[in-house]
Amino acid sequence: MTVPTAKPLAGLRVLDYAQYVAGPFAAMMLADLGAEVIKVEPPNGDAWRHYEPLTPDGGRWFISLNRNKKSVVADLKTERGQDFSRALIRTADVVIHNMPPERALRFGLDRDTVKSVNPDAVWCCVSAFGTDGPESQTLGYDLIAQAASGLLLADARSGDPVPRRSGGIAMADLTAGLLTFAAALAGLTDRFRRHDETGVSKGFEVSLLGASLAVQVQRFVSVGDGEFDDAPGVCDETRLEQLAETVTESDELEPYYRCYAASDGFIALACLNLAQRRKVQALLGIDDPWAVNPQAVPADQAEREMRSSLKHRFAEVIKTDTVSHWIAAFEELGVPAGPVREITQAHSLPQVRANGLVQTIEQPEIGPVSVLGSIFKIDGHARPDAGSAPRLGEHTQQLTELVSATHTSEGIATAR
């Protein structure tokens, strides 16, 4: 099979004004599909450069989100910096930023200003709480959005003195990045479909608040008027413990979608339909009268205790043999199951590497660094050809010369 010579977004230019996680993650995925991504940074660089630093301007987490990009420095607090920024915007196909509305307006990155400079540019804004409403100017990161949306309490555990992020994962940030990536592609598709028409390209807004709610979409359902009206306005220690009890009880009553200890490690079992549950019952030799709907609320305390005991009976049987034994047995029945691994184990997993999900980049001042590769395969092929994360301002001179090649005004480039 012939490896494709060009990626689908080759020839398109993305300006990444965002810092930290969501915007840079979206821009990196666009780079994985072939776009030229230019990271426009303040003089001190993206703040993530200085978190867990491996070099003076290259933090571990920065490298993970900014490989395969170019970096230019533009001080948007100065007139010259804004002139350079406008020159870049005139050459762009997509502009991504994550500034609050007031700051974006001050720096010329609000939608109206970007569109006045380049009507064809797809504009994407990632904010904490959205650009409308009483909290639109409120600063917030992943933790704040998770707290505001209820996501922080989705995995409440008994004994927790305060709420905590599940696994420390930046769920709001990363989900917002995926949504921004999708929005940018939608904008480019819309622009392509109307290539022979006049008009202005679409502008898209994604918030960490919306992303936090998106990953709770199955819970964010209110049946009838005012179903959620009785919820307390503030979560305190008492309410945290009540929520923990609810989460714990849900776990106790669900024997088919959980982890178990085998004799030599842990396995995850995941049955989402009755046919799979019946197969598990037969394999383990356990009868379950409630298999049709294991999430149903118990009719009384006696039923609650009987249903809770099922999990313990499952656990007793599974503990008698090895992880490999049970995975093979479940696999033969067509029941989803798998071993529980640490991320360090996943890094060397043949299946992960076979899909191109580990890539080694040559990072200046560090050497070889293994990072997450592109999550996309194109025409059946993973593309292990991404570049390193850029040094701060590494491409400023190159881009300055490029944008000034056609037209120059007041000593600063004005067009491609």
* pLDDT tens per residue, range 216-267: 988 887 776 656 666 656 788 888 888 888 877 777 788 999 899 999 999 9
**What percentage of the chain reaches a pLDDT higher than 70?**
92
pLDDT digits (tens, 9 = 90+) for 345-356: 887 888 888 888
Residues 402 and 330 in one domain: no
Higher pLDDT, 136 or 251: 136
Mean pLDDT of the chain: 87
- Decide if pLDDT at 416 tops 50: no
Buried b / exposed e over 170-199, threshold 16 CB at 10 Å, is: bbbbbbbbbbbbebbbebbeebeeeeeeee
- Residue 41 forms part of a structural domain: yes
Last residue of one domain, picked from the residues 275, 309, 338:
338
Of 211-220, 243-252, 287-296, 314-323, least confident by mean pLDDT is 243-252
**Residue 20: partners with Cβ closer than 8 Å, 6 or more residues away:** 46, 47, 48, 98, 141, 173
Q: What's the pLDDT at 224? A: 66
Residues 23 and 133 in one domain: yes
- Residue 241 forms part of a structural domain: no
Residues 140 and 261 in one domain: no
Q: What's the CATH number where 258 sits?
A: 3.30.1540.10
Q: Cα(76)–Cα(42) distance, rounded to whole angstroms? A: 7
Average pLDDT of 283-311? Answer: 88
Residues 266 and 193 in one domain: no
Q: What's the pLDDT at 260? A: 93
Residues 202 and 292 in one domain: no
pLDDT digits (tens, 9 = 90+) for 72-128: 999 999 999 999 999 999 999 999 999 988 899 999 999 999 999 999 999 999 999
Last residue of one domain, picked from the residues 304, 321, 338:
338
Residues 30 and 177 in one domain: yes
**Is-above-0.95 flag for pTM?**
no
- Residue 211 forms part of a structural domain: yes
Phi, psi of 217 (to 5 degrees): -55, -35
pLDDT digits (tens, 9 = 90+) for 24-68: 999 999 999 999 999 999 999 999 999 888 888 888 899 999 999
Residues 299 and 173 in one domain: no
- Decide if pLDDT at 137 tops 90: no
Under DSSP, the state recorded for 3 is P
Residues 80 and 191 in one domain: yes
Q: What's the pLDDT at 364? A: 86
Q: What's the pLDDT at 65? A: 96
Other C-beta atoms lying within 10 Å of the C-beta of residue 305: 11
Phi, psi of 277 (to 5 degrees): -65, -40
pLDDT digits (tens, 9 = 90+) for 169-204: 999 999 999 999 999 999 999 988 876 566 678 899
Q: What's the pLDDT at 337? A: 94
Is residue 125 within 8 A of residue 204, CB to CB? The reply is: yes
pLDDT-derived band of residue 3, with 50, 70 and 90 as boundaries?
low
- Residue 71 forms part of a structural domain: yes
Residues 109 and 211 in one domain: yes
Q: What's the pLDDT at 261? A: 94
- Residue 40 forms part of a structural domain: yes
Q: Cα(209)–Cα(155) distance, rounded to whole angstroms? A: 18
- How many structural domains are present in the chain? 2
Residues 31 and 78 in one domain: yes
- Decide if pLDDT at 412 tops 50: no
Q: What's the pLDDT at 8? A: 92
Q: What domain range includes position 161?
A: 13-216+392-414
pLDDT digits (tens, 9 = 90+) for 334-345: 999 999 988 888
Q: What's the pLDDT at 106? A: 96
Residues 186 and 66 in one domain: yes
- Residue 3 forms part of a structural domain: no
Q: What's the pLDDT at 228? A: 65
Closest CA to 40 of 64, 61, 13, 59: 13
SS3 384: coil
- Residue 258 forms part of a structural domain: yes
Residues 284 and 168 in one domain: no
Q: What's the CATH number where 110 sits?
A: 3.40.50.10540
Tokens read off for 45: 């660089």
- Residue 293 forms part of a structural domain: yes
pLDDT digits (tens, 9 = 90+) for 141-180: 998 899 888 898 888 888 888 888 888 899 999 999 999 9
